């Protein structure tokens, strides 16, 4: 009989919090995304899984370190890819933090709010934001990127086959020195595969601007 992973069994304990350096209009845009969702949301950088949100919902302090780590990770990137858009909270943080960033996002759109949230960010950021509906394997398999990504955020399907695909594709399509940020990086199979990639001297873990990982998400750099 198949078993399901309980992510909270592995979630890091004693996560630190911090003051945040919000990007331009970041909180306003997050509020607008919350208003579009107006109900339970899949877990993300701002809210715990199945939190019921609306326009007045405020990103929880417990994930402040995770958000600030993302801001520091993306700060100097030019062209990014996000696998797993959800309601767009992490996309909004990245685009607000880095005004020079162009971001491509992918999502399978199982939640009813996904495409509406993506359209909202498209209306705001115009040619800085591109959205594609589908799984990463449907869209990226057997395809070489025509652009040099210097940042990839993996937060898509949690199956191990999906994760392996996303990491392997990132390895092939990130330019040297490019950054790969892995969400839910505390899961044992994720950690084992990342350790293997580091042993092969493909990636090395880094601390953006000296900020260590809380264990929620981990940043590596392509060697």
Q: Which of 105, 191, 215 is nearest to 152 (CA)?
A: 105
Phi/psi at 220 (5° precision): -125, 160
Find, among 167, 153, 193, 184, the residue nearest to 6 by Cα.
Answer: 184
Average of per-residue pLDDT across 91-107: 98
- Measured distance CA(66)–CA(46) in Å, rounded: 9
Pair type for strands 129-133 and 149-154: unpaired
Residues 167-220 have pLDDT tens digits of: 999 999 999 999 999 999 999 999 999 999 999 999 999 999 999 999 999 999
pLDDT at 146: 83
How far apart CA 67 and CA 56 sit, in angstroms, is 19
Q: Could you tell me the pLDDT band of residue 148, with boundaries at 50, 70 and 90?
A: confident
Beta strand 39-41 with 51-53 is antiparallel
Q: Which residues lie below 8 Å from residue 19, measured CB to CB, with a gap of 6+?
A: 64
What are the residues whose beta carbons fall under 8 Å from the beta carbon of 21, sequence distance 6 or more? 68, 71, 97
**C-alpha dihedral sign at 163, 169, 170, 172:** positive
pLDDT at position 64 over 90:
yes
Backbone angles phi, psi at 210, to 5 degrees: 80, 5
Percentage of the chain lying above the pLDDT 90 cut:
90
Find the range with the poorest average confidence among 78-87, 116-125, 156-165: 156-165
Q: Beta partners for 41?
A: 51
Q: Please compute the mean of the pLDDT values over residues 123-150 and round it to a whole number.
A: 94
Distances in whole angstroms, Cα of residue 214 to Cα of each of 66, 107, 121, 150, 166: 7, 25, 28, 23, 22
Mean pLDDT, rounded, of the chain: 94
Closest CA to 128 of 9, 29, 11: 29
């Amino acid at each position: 009989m198949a078993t399901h992973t309980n992510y909270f069994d592995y979630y890091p304990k004693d996560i630190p919090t911090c003051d945040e350096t919000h990007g331009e209009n970041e909180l306003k845009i997050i509020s607008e995304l919350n208003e579009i969702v107006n109900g339970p949301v899949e877990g993300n950088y701002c809210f715990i899984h199945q939190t019921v949100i609306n326009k007045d919902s405020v990103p929880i302090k417990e994930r402040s370190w995770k958000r600030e780590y993302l801001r520091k990770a993306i700060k100097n990137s030019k062209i990014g890819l996000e696998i797993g858009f959800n309601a767009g909270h992490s996309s909004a943080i990245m685009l607000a933090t880095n005004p020079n960033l162009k971001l491509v996002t992918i999502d399978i759109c199982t939640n009813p709010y996904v495409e509406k949230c993506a359209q909202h960010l498209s209306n705001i950021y115009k040619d800085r934001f591109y959205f594609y509906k589908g799984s990463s394997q449907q869209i990226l398999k057997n395809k070489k990127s025509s652009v040099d990504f210097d940042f990839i955020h993996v937060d898509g399907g949690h199956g191990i086959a999906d994760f392996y695909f996303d990491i392997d594709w990132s390895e092939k399509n990130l330019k040297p020195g490019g950054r790969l940020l892995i969400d839910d990086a505390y899961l044992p199979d994720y950690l084992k595969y990342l350790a293997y990639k580091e042993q092969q001297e493909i990636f090395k873990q880094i601390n953006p601007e000296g900020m260590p990982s809380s264990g929620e998400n981990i940043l590596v750099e392509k060697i």
